[in-house]
Amino acid sequence: MTTHCEMEFAVFVPGIAGAEPLPALFYLSGLTCTWANVADKAGAQRFAAEHGLILVMPDTSPRGLQLPGEDDDWDFGTGAGFYVNATEAPWNENYNMFDYVTEELPALVAGELGVDGARIGVTGHSMGGHGALICALKRPDVFKSCSAFAPIAAPSRCPWGTKAFTGYLGADKTEWAKWDACELVGLSHFEGSVLVDQGQADNFLVRELRPELLQEAFTHAGKSLVLRMQPGYDHSYYFIATFMGDHVEHHSKQLQR
C-alpha cells in the first residue's frame, strides 16, 4: 500500500479570473529548488497576467519523510525527485512525482482553482525541463503545450540522470528508457511544437544537459523542436527570466488552438 505525504505548491491567478475556466502553465523546477525559486526569481507572473494564464508551481520532491539517505546528496532524494515514479524501495512509496504532476495536481487545480483541464501546458528548468518533456511526451492527453529551459535532455546518458535513475528505478536500463525524452519522443502522440532555450555558457551543457541528443531524437521522430542556443547565458535564473516571456507566449498560442 502506498502511503501519502503532503506536498506544497504555489499558484498565480491573473486578475481576469472569473467564472470561465482559464488555461494553466505548470512550471517544474530543478535540482535543489522548491516552488519558491520560480515564484521569486523568474518574473513569470507579469507574462502570465498578460496572457491570461494561471501559473502552477509544484515542489520538486516529497520532504521530511526521514528515509535513509534522503538528505545525503543535493542531486538525489530531497529536492531531486526527477519527476519519475520510483520503483525501488524505499522511494517507491512516496517518490511518485510523475503521477503527482500529471494526475493529482491537474485534477486539484481544475476542481479548486478554475483551471481549464483541457488547456494545460508544462515547462521547467534543468531537472524540471526533463520533467516537462517527459510529462508532455507521456501524457499528451493532459499537457497540450511544452517548453523547457536547459533541460537534462538525455538523463540515461549523463551523471545526474544515471545516479537518479539507478536509485529510483534500479539498474535495468530498459526501465530508464521509459523516463528519457530522447527515448520517448519516437513513441509519443504529442503533436505540439516544443520550445527549448539553452545557454551556451552553461557550465553543465556538455556533461549533463546534451541538447544535441534531444535535437537528434526529435528530428529522427519527425517531431517539431525549436532549440535556441543563447550566447553568453549560463544556468541561472537570470537566463530563465530573460526568456520567460517567450515561453509564456509560446504556451498561450498553443493553448488557444
Q: Decide if 60 contacts 124 (C-beta within 8 A).
A: no
Identify the H or E element spanning 120.
strand 115-124
Options 130, 202, 250, 251, the catalytic residue:
202
**241, pLDDT greater than 70:** yes
Residues across the chain: 257
**Contact assessment for residue 135 and residue 83, using Cβ atoms and an 8 Å cutoff:** yes
Q: Does residue 202 have an active-site annotation?
A: yes
User: What domains, with CATH codes, occur in the chain?
Assistant: 9-256 (3.40.50.1820)
User: Is 235 known to be catalytic?
Assistant: yes
DSSP state of 20: S
The single residue of 29, 61, 126, 252 carrying the catalytic annotation is 126
**112 Cα distance to chain centroid:** 22
- The answer to whether 126 is a known catalytic residue is yes
Position 17 pLDDT exceeds 90:
no
CA–CA separation, 144 vs 113, rounded Å? 19
- Asked if residue 19 has pLDDT above 80, the reply is no
pTM of the model: 0.96
For range 145-162, the mean pLDDT: 98
* Whether the Cβ atoms of residue 12 and residue 54 lie closer than 8 Å to each other: yes
DSSP 148: E
* Active-site entry in 235, 247, 250, 251: 235
